[in-house]
Amino acid sequence: MTTPEGRIAVVTGANRGLGLETSRGLASAGYRVVMTARDAAQGAAAARELATTGAAVEFQPLDVGEESNIAAFREFTRTGLGRVDVLVNNAGISMSGFDIDVVRRTLAVNFFGPLRLTEALLPVIPRGGTIVMVSSGMGELSGISAGLRARFSDESLDAPGLVALVNEFIESVASGRHEERGWPSSAYRISKVALNALTRIWARELAPAGIKINAVCPGWVRTRMGGPGAGRSVEQGARGIVWAGTLPPDGPSGGFFRDARPIEW
Ligand code: NDP
């Protein structure tokens, strides 16, 4: 673990579930943690409660699906923080049903949210900084067709190309032709496949700047999303996220991990 003195971590979706537990873990590791959530009342209450344990946490509102929120948060980081050493893109949704609204909303929060937030904060992420994409086993390439697998894992794919690919999925669903074009009927799956692809792309591009980025699957965890039947506690699920956020300077980048161990893309 790096020496965290004076280091600042930002966690999205930190008012409950894995985001809250990750904030607790990073604060225990000595980070000043900026907990963010879209609901200001819930987020502030979660941060207040965590602060009673002596944790150096504070709250800022941030709906990752709203570009205006991201712009306001970027300004806060520039003027109020000056640096972000660890960014944990944790916020995510898993909606029931499958239609164009579900697809648009899911991609907006799970893929475009982390993409836009990370781009907005990159200027304040210093050398040695670490980005964690909270992903899922649902994002594994084995869950999609061979054709899509080749396109998402193409080494020449860049972020604009990936955005075009994701928009192709959205447009295929809107026109009712996604199945004939080989896309699965799962917005959540594509959102995490795309998030993983973004992790690989940015790992290559950010390496010269000394910034690490990894994707983490927390396993099936008892949160509002995972439900009460899940096999893992939030503590177990968050441990691997905290691990990825506190990697030493020579730690891995461009990997997909569960419980601090590499898993297949
Ligand atoms: P929860 O549903 O408990 O928490 C999700 C968090 O994301 C909440 O804080 C929620 O805030 C926040 N969120 C949702 N939409 C937005 C938004 N637009 N802007 C900001 N915050 C938002 O789920 P988990 O803690 O389980 O999920 C955390 C991450 O872990 C997700 O990315 C999920 O995909 C991933 N994951 C979870 C698994 C599990 O089994 N639980 C398995 C694999 C991956 P609000 O209270 O406002 O809704």
Please, which residues bridge with residue 32 across strands? Answer: 8
Which residues line the pocket of ligand 1, CB cutoff 6 A? Answer: 12-13, 15-19, 37-39, 42, 63-65, 90-93, 109, 134, 136, 217-218, 220-221, 223-226, 230
Per-residue pLDDT tens digits of the chain, which is 265 residues long? 444 678 999 999 999 999 999 999 999 999 999 999 999 999 999 999 999 999 999 999 999 999 999 999 999 999 999 999 999 999 999 999 999 999 999 999 999 999 999 999 999 999 999 999 999 999 999 999 999 999 999 999 999 999 999 999 999 999 999 999 999 999 999 999 999 999 999 999 999 999 999 999 999 999 999 999 999 999 999 999 999 999 998 999 999 999 999 999 9
The residue to mutate among 38, 112, 217, 241, having the most atoms of ligand 1 within 8 angstroms of its beta carbon, is: 38
Residues known to be catalytic: 188
CATH numbers and ranges of domains, the chain:
8-262 (3.40.50.720)
Pairs from 142-146 (Cβ < 8 Å, separation ≥ 24): 142/264, 143/184, 143/189, 143/193, 144/184, 144/189, 144/190, 144/193, 145/182, 145/184
**What pTM did the predictor assign?**
0.98
For residue 256, the surrounding DSSP H or E stretch is strand 256-258
